[in-house]
Structure 1
């Protein structure tokens, strides 16, 4: 019998420490609380403590997931971790998680560095593992601590990004109603790499060769060094307005139309970006998921967090069909259809 990969559970965790719009307004007096919310749609972001890492968040999200499912740890065949803030250059953080979670040693584990499109890429990887017969139970983890890379003087990114981790269980299903994860589409344009980047810290430009990077202020008053996260907002916006509609169109044909979709789950970047995409694609607001007010842009975790929020509120239920799209750093973009 044909087996299909299916999402069966999602959990997420946020750090306890928060950064509210009130906090930001005190740091940036020219931006009041209403202005920050109006531009971003975000009220607060959760920020890791000094001793917390992405793997700590990932561990807590996995523990929450594993304690709420009827699947023994011994049955987990694979753990896949999407992160751009690993504990070490090597080994893979997923290997550390396997041991810390008490998963079996026959469990496969690997990291991948993908960012905003990472959840969709992970679903594609899990589908491949399951539908090729290599696994039955895959835990897909997305964990990010972008706050580690943000200069406190850079309001262009500090107002947007929050830290989080999500854990998603993808299982093999014998149901004849599959496929449940379908129509995967991908795209890459590395020419845009420079527009969302931490320039210093990797092998190309090691931190030890740049121990005191210069502090600079841009024309908007944002302060950062080359060891901090840099985002070219206008370039990212232009990329998103071009590539996302192009990819979105490839998900549909005479067998699947817009009318067949119950919800549209896009990367939860910020209110300005999502509103512009929704208008460009002429999507009904009641079908367009927006669940980031309480946590901000959590990079690869935005879509699973949004799905979990919809599940908790009873909006998303079995039988619903979603179009999911991730896009951003890389440039990288990806989309798929999810049948719940």
Structure 2
């Protein structure tokens, strides 16, 4: 899908992190591997520490904490909100939707549209796409986009392949109409035939969770211990997918936008790990300095929230005082890969909140 979105702007981003921070060294002995072998991953993959929620925390808690902060600090007014969109793979419940939980907890007006979207790694771009389309019908109202995942609850702590890089977080993005905004060029692809590269086998209608699906096994016969209730990632398949599909996607999107790489100030990508992003930057022939790649080492990979978290962490105050020509790209579960060009900046706020969760 290729399209152009016009007269829309991101006017604020809030990152919301859990209060608990765990260092990679403290988890080395969780894994069924020699310590020396495991520690080599720290340098190669960029593992340092990650943020994980408490056992009692649900995805909506991070979102409600973020929206209440914006309301309390007068960064948004309830009467300005026309819709809330939640993009997550870890809802509080099957029913009701997370967006309705946020609506009720924050006492929003009854005419506010509530939408949940089930998307993972590419969730920020999916959420922006839906936000831009809704704004066509909301006039001067704003859309609040929540990208949230608490995947630490769905990843085995004995899975060295996945657990060190998982991070929990929420991104809260304010999107509104702006007649002076530059055109945004959007491009998205999907390949469901490769869906099992990132999968949680149990818990849905295909295979409901049970005592049997909770049994921890070495399911990949590589020393990683997980159950069918846990996320399983084929790391080599995902790496090949990113290196094969994303560079031509970026090239195609820039050509569609009639821009070249030198005109892009920042390449703001989903954050799988530092190693993968370095290889991606090299393949694209863009300098490392234009590709922030420090989110996994500081917070873990927060799935669909990784782009807003990356923007806040690396560019926070700069996004308030300046404007930048950016290329966003997200890729992963689905398998899904997308990109867009967008002018970001002169926001009302771009900051991080450490929650009690």
Q: TM-score, normalised by structure 1?
A: 0.92
1:50: which partner in 2? 55
1:337: which partner in 2? 341
2:7 pairs with 1:4: yes
Per-residue CA shift, 1:127-146, capped at 9, x if unaligned?
Answer: 11224556630100011011
Q: How does 1:142-221 map to 2 (within 5 A)?
A: 142-175=147-180, 177-179=181-183, 182-208=184-210, 210=212, 212-213=214-215, 215-221=217-223
Q: How does 1:1-340 map to 2 (within 5 A)?
A: 4-28=7-31, 30-32=34-36, 35-133=40-138, 136-175=141-180, 177-179=181-183, 182-208=184-210, 210=212, 212-213=214-215, 215-253=217-255, 255-292=258-295, 293-312=297-316, 314=318, 317-340=321-344
Greater alpha carbon shift after TM alignment, 309-318 vs 153-162: 309-318
Secondary structure of the residue that 1:220 maps to in structure 2? coil
Corresponding residue pairs, total? 336
* In structure 2, C-alpha distance between the alignment counterparts of 1:320 and 1:313, rounded to whole Å: 13
Deviation at 1:211, TM superposition (A): 5.3
Per-residue CA shift, 1:295-328, capped at 9, x if unaligned?
Answer: 0100001000111123325378532110000000
* In structure 2, C-alpha distance between the alignment counterparts of 1:135 and 1:96, rounded to whole Å: 24
* In structure 2, C-alpha distance between the alignment counterparts of 1:90 and 1:118, rounded to whole Å: 20
Deviation at 1:9, TM superposition (A): 0.7
Greater alpha carbon shift after TM alignment, 196-205 vs 310-319: 310-319
Cα 1:316/1:106, change in 2 over 3 Å: closer
* In structure 2, C-alpha distance between the alignment counterparts of 1:221 and 1:3, rounded to whole Å: 50
Asked if the contact 1:3–1:130 (Cα under 8 Å) also holds between the matched residues in 2, the reply is: no
Secondary structure of the residue that 1:159 maps to in structure 2? helix
* In structure 1, C-alpha distance between the alignment counterparts of 2:139 and 2:231, rounded to whole Å: 37
Asked if the contact 1:9–1:65 (Cα under 8 Å) also holds between the matched residues in 2, the reply is: no
Asked if the contact 2:121–2:333 (Cα under 8 Å) also holds between the matched residues in 1, the reply is: yes
Greater alpha carbon shift after TM alignment, 131-140 vs 272-281: 131-140
Asked if the contact 1:7–1:171 (Cα under 8 Å) also holds between the matched residues in 2, the reply is: yes
Deviation at 1:216, TM superposition (A): 2.5
* In structure 1, C-alpha distance between the alignment counterparts of 2:314 and 2:74, rounded to whole Å: 19
Cα 1:214/1:25, change in 2 over 3 Å: closer
Asked if the contact 2:89–2:149 (Cα under 8 Å) also holds between the matched residues in 1, the reply is: yes
* In structure 1, C-alpha distance between the alignment counterparts of 2:317 and 2:45, rounded to whole Å: 23
Deviation at 1:171, TM superposition (A): 1.4
Superposed CA RMSD: 2.1
Unmatched segments (≥5 aa) in structure 1: none
* In structure 1, C-alpha distance between the alignment counterparts of 2:202 and 2:82, rounded to whole Å: 36
Asked if the contact 1:62–1:141 (Cα under 8 Å) also holds between the matched residues in 2, the reply is: no
Greater alpha carbon shift after TM alignment, 58-67 vs 298-307: 58-67
Deviation at 1:92, TM superposition (A): 1.1
Cα 1:205/1:173, change in 2 over 3 Å: same
Deviation at 1:212, TM superposition (A): 4.7
Asked if the contact 2:214–2:227 (Cα under 8 Å) also holds between the matched residues in 1, the reply is: no
* In structure 2, C-alpha distance between the alignment counterparts of 1:248 and 1:278, rounded to whole Å: 11
Secondary structure of the residue that 1:50 maps to in structure 2? coil
Secondary structure of the residue that 1:337 maps to in structure 2? strand
Per-residue CA shift, 1:45-104, capped at 9, x if unaligned?
Answer: 111111101111111122233344543112100100001000111121101111111221
